[in-house]
Every structure is written in C-alpha cells, then in structure tokens.
Amino acid sequence: MTYRFWAVLAVLLAGHLSLRAQSLAGVWQGVEDEFAAKGYCPSVLRVQQRGGESVFGVLYQQSGGQAGVSVTFQMEGTPTPAGLTLEHVRKLAESGRSLFRYWCAGSITFTYDASQEKLTGRAAYAPQGECSTGTFTFYRVRLKSAATVPAGALSALRVSGRDVRWYADAELTKPVATGNTYATQLRQTTTFYLKQGYFATAESPVVPITIQVSGKAPAGQPAPTPAPPDSLRPLPPARVPVPVAPLPALAAKAPVAPLPPAVVLPTVLFKLATAELLPTARPALNRLAAELLARPALRLRIAGHTDRVGESEKNRLLSEQRAEMVKTYLVQAGVPAERLSTIGYGDTQPLYPAPDARNRRVEVQELP
C-alpha cells in the first residue's frame, strides 16, 4: 500500500466530518482472531460517517507477520445502539495473491467500549473454504485528559490505546514516553505523535495529540528536557526470584538498600492469555506503591513476561500489556507515571519449565 493511496483516501474521507459527539469515526488498530490457533491478522480500520446514518471506510489486514500478504477492503455500514455494523463491499488492493490463498468477506458487527476506546467485532463471513466467523479487537488513540494545561505545572496527560508510544516529532525519532499516561511540564502548546504497538503494521497510524498551554510558567523555571524512555533500553539479564516477604522492607524510610538488578514479584500474576491481574497481586503492588510514594526519587522499570503457551510475537505483546497493567495500578495509587517505564520480554525468559503460571509474571528494577 503506497503513501499516495492513503493520501488520496484521506482527502476523500475529509469531506465527511459532520460527526456526532459519540462518533466512531477515526483510525482503529488491532487484530482479527488474536488467540486463534490457525493464525491471526493484524488490522487497521478507518471509519468515517456520511450524511445521515451511514458510515464507510477501509479495512486493511495482513496475514500474521507477513507484510507482503495483505488486503484492503472498502467497507460500508450503519451505526447501531451498541456500536456499528460494516459490510465488505469490494477489494481495493491485495498483495501476495496465490491460488491457495483467499480472504474472507461478509459483515462485521462491532460493540463499542467508550471507557477503553475499544471496538469488539464479530464477523459472519460468506461461505468460502474455511470462512465462517471471526473476531476483531480494535483500539484507537484519543486524548482522555484535559486538552489545556497550566504552563509549567506537572500535568498527567492520559490517552486511550494499547501499548502506546509517545514521540516529540512526526518522524518518530524522538521518543519521550510509553504507556497511556505521560506526566510532564509544558511551557508552550505542544504536539505529541503517538503510535500503538498493539499488532502494529506498516499501515499503523501516527496520531497527533496537541496540548494547549494556558498562562505563563513561573519565572526562572527551566524548560524540561525529556529523555528517551528507559523502556527502550534492554533490561540486564540477571533476575533474582524473591518471595513477597521482603517487600515490606521497601516501604521503610530512606535510606533503603537498592533493589537487586531485577526482582521478581512472585504473587503478581495474571489470568491465562490476558493482562488481567489476579487478586493475589494487590498486596504486593500496594506495598510497592507505598515504597514509591515514600521515596520520591525512586524510579522503576517494570518488565512483563509470559509463559510459552501460544505464539511468540503475541506473547511479547501480551507481556508489554502486563507491564503496562502494573504501571497503571501504581499510577492509580498515586505514583507519578514518569517514574515508571515498561518493557515486555514475552516468553523468552521463563523461570520455570512450561507450562507454569509463575512464568506469567512481572519483575521490577530500580533505575539510577
């Protein structure tokens, strides 16, 4: 798919912007059949609304990690009380075609979750080969915090999306943060450029988010210089499994001995194939949050891991989501987001023979 194609498409879509407050128009990124045994299709859905009640757009899909095997469908449909329904109209483009490969087409009914900016779709395909049904999961990046912040004040910027990466430039050469929350001090109106790592493809959009700044920063306050996030640097390989018992020591007042190179939180576990924390995780995370609040200079890297059930690439993405879930828990407990960075290692660093739930874990490391 060429840049020219998407540029022309953007011009066509730009003519239909009379959208309602609860509009589902925009660019959605995700996957079809995320946990399917026979494969998955990273996908990008672009939706716009015509006059009246109809919607239209395009659906891009590629076969697993094969960027050279892809299709783009023209889609049309209507909003529903729960979301929208889209029909495959025709193919706009296809690559990697062969006699033994085909793409399923039919209709997709989506349910919208406004709290997560999430579309969950159920496809009913016209009979062709193994085509019958499919499931879609999409997220879009939208600003969820205030669009205007006071100049020079520490402000927490929040967005929706999965595995979000923040950049200071449209070329994506200056990373400044990862995750759904970025705490920063702005002295002037600033535009950040965001991408989702959740089943990313060559067609994954870059979403600009502009934050307006009001007033003036206090005199003499220097402008902050954001550094590249620690999550872009690899975690040292050493890992030290420890029981939960030493965690209360973390809550002691400074001076406190630094954390080992990487400390396993053995009770911070997750449900199989999800980033949902098990109830046993809460006591350890509460103690960790108390330590972080007691030591304002303490910064941590949170590393996510999975077991070896499923495909390695999906496990890597899931491990990133699990690290982000722990970060979200700590931020909700009052820990500033900029003191926490995340990384996911998937199933590459198991501590126990598979299958073992203890491999679905997180580790933390103190940063200088």
C-alpha torsion sign, points 67, 68, 69, 70: positive
DSSP string covering 87-109: EEEEEEEEES--TT-----EEEE
Shared domain check, 323 and 283: yes
| Exposure of 246 in the CB half-sphere (CA atoms within 13 A) | 13
Which tens digit of pLDDT belongs to each residue from 168-214? 998 999 998 888 888 888 999 999 999 999 999 888 999 999 999 99
Asked whether 285 and 291 are in contact (CB, 8 A), the reply is no
SS3 track for 308-333: CCCCHHHHHHHHHHHHHHHHHHHHHC
The first and second tokens of residue 44, run together, are 């990008």
Shared domain check, 343 and 327: yes
Asked whether 27 and 45 are in contact (CB, 8 A), the reply is yes
Query: For residue 20, is pLDDT > 60?
Result: no
Beta bridge partners of 362: 304
DSSP string covering 144-174: -S-SEEETTSEEEEEB-SSSEEEESSTTS--
From residue 348, alpha-carbon distances to 64, 97, 184, 356 in Å are 20, 33, 33, 14
Shared domain check, 94 and 211: no
Query: For residue 13, is pLDDT > 90?
Result: no
Residue 287: its H or E element: helix 281-294
* Residue where one domain finishes, among candidates 228, 259, 279: 228
The first and second tokens of residue 314, run together, are 């999906």
Which tens digit of pLDDT belongs to each residue from 90-111? 999 999 888 777 899 999 999 9
Domain count, the chain: 3
Shared domain check, 253 and 217: no
Shared domain check, 105 and 8: yes
pLDDT interval class at 260 (50, 70, 90): low
Shared domain check, 70 and 51: yes
Shared domain check, 176 and 293: no
Query: For residue 21, is pLDDT > 60?
Result: no
- Which residue shows structure tokens 């979301």? 83
Shared domain check, 192 and 64: no
Asked whether 359 and 352 are in contact (CB, 8 A), the reply is yes
Per-residue pLDDT, averaged over 240-259, amounts to 43
CATH of the domain at 246: 3.30.1330.60
345 in helix, strand or coil?
Answer: coil
Shared domain check, 349 and 238: yes
Shared domain check, 307 and 196: no
CATH of the domain at 89: 2.40.128
Shared domain check, 308 and 257: yes
Range of the domain at 254: 233-367
Shared domain check, 357 and 241: yes
Which tens digit of pLDDT belongs to each residue from 318-327? 888 888 889 9
* Residue where one domain finishes, among candidates 194, 228, 262: 228
Per-residue pLDDT, averaged over 17-42, amounts to 73
* Residue where one domain finishes, among candidates 106, 122, 139: 139
